[in-house]
Amino acid sequence: MANPKTSTIPLVSDDETNVIRIEDLRKSFGDHEVLRGVNANVKTGEVVCVIGPSGSGKSTLLRCINGLESITSGNIWLGGFNLSDEKVDLNEVRKHVGMVFQHFNLFPNMTVAENITLAPTQVKKYSQDRARTEALELLRRVGLEEKADARPASLSGGQKQRVAIARALAMNPEIMLFDEATSALDPEMVGEVLGVIRSLADEGMTMVLVTHEMGFAREVADRVAFIDAGVIQEYGPPEQIFSNPTSDRLKDFLSKVL
């Protein structure tokens, strides 16, 4: 897959390995402390799956990583950008980070191609022609080239989510975040979306995925983070997390989901 470099400065220089560094991250909503001291690194090209019970802070963590939520205390570095620095340009940071949501969030009044070309034309100032050419290439990658001029409403859930992935990729992000990207899909459509995510992993994309697909996490993740009560309780290779869990919390969680 051709992945032309963006005009923005790359997140990491060649001698850095951790493209994401999270240090004692805390996030409160009012007096409810949702993230209570999260520490984690993600290496360039690594696929990290985040698992854990509902309400444990998984979505909040992802939203902090791309600056959708302000940080209460602690630090998140994306390459050389420190998100806790109030002078950081969040629009610049977000050019490097693509996000895919459970409910697709496509713009219903635009065609599939228009959904994909919007950010490149608005933010990167690409011409319509160039943005359209790249959109068609992205749609080919996710197997939906023939849907370029369709409206989102005419697509299945799996197709919508593949368009949402293409849209996120259109900004040439160096990091992709997925928040339960398959949870809203009918079971027969989960595979087609996981297939696209797997191909991104094979191409070396750095990814953080919140997922309930334990089989997928076991197969595709380089490391799995188990988060519970706002803290990463265990973080390691899938064999360790799934076959040798150490904490009672993780053992209990796995007994319910496996």
Span near ligand ADP by CB under 6 A; candidates 47-55, 84-92, 148-156, 197-205: 47-55
Is 34 a binder of ligand ADP (CB under 6 A)?
A: yes
Other CB atoms within 10 A of residue 172 CB: 17
In whole angstroms, how close is the CB of 28 to ligand ADP at the nearest point? 9
- The three-class DSSP label of residue 89 is coil
Q: Which is nearer to ligand ADP, 57 or 158 (CB)?
A: 57
Is 115 a binder of ligand ADP (CB under 6 A)?
A: no
Show Cβ contacts of residue 201 under 8 Å, excluding neighbours closer than 6 positions: 47, 207, 220
Half-sphere exposure (Cβ direction) of 143: Cα atoms closer than 13 Å: 13
Binds ligand ADP (CB under 6 A): choice among 28, 39, 55, 202: 55
Residue nearest to Mg ion (CB): 59
Is 182 a binder of ligand ADP (CB under 6 A)?
A: no
β 97-100/223-228 pair status: unpaired
Span near ligand ADP by CB under 6 A; candidates 57-65, 71-79, 85-93, 242-250: 57-65
Is 58 a binder of ligand ADP (CB under 6 A)?
A: yes
d(CA 49, CA 228): 14
Whether 238 and 224 have beta carbons less than 8 Å apart is answered as yes
Span near ligand ADP by CB under 6 A; candidates 49-57, 71-79, 110-118, 217-225: 49-57
Q: Which is nearer to ligand ADP, 13 or 54 (CB)?
A: 54
Query: Which one of ligand ADP, Mg ion, none interacts with residue 107, CB within 5 to 8 A by kind?
Result: none
Place of tokens 């899938």: 238
In whole angstroms, how close is the CB of 17 to Mg ion at the nearest point? 28
The CA R_g of the chain, rounded to the nearest whole Å, is 18
Q: Say which amino acid occupies 174.
A: E
Phi, psi for 26 (deg, rounded to 5) = -125, 140
Residues that bind ligand ADP (CB under 6 A): 29, 34, 52, 54-60
